[in-house]
Amino acid sequence: MTPDTQTAIALSLVVLAASFFFTRWVRGRKKPGCGGGCGCSSTKKF
């Protein structure tokens, strides 16, 4: 395996991992509930 191939494989793995974590972060930022259009409570009140 040439050094160029190893570099390409390692770089692609890093890009895949970064995109996975980025999509998890974006999905985690969504507000709970339906968005507030139906009158339901979007946050829990204690």
User: Look-up: residue for tokens 């259009």?
Assistant: 37
pLDDT in tens, 3-15: 999 999 999 999 9
User: Look-up: residue for tokens 């970064």?
Assistant: 18
pLDDT in tens, 1-46: 899 999 999 999 999 999 999 999 988 876 666 655 666 665 655 5
Q: How far apart are the first and last CA of the chain?
A: 59
CA distance 42 to 37: 10
Residue type, 42: S
pTM of the entire predicted model: 0.59
User: Look-up: residue for tokens 């829990």?
Assistant: 44
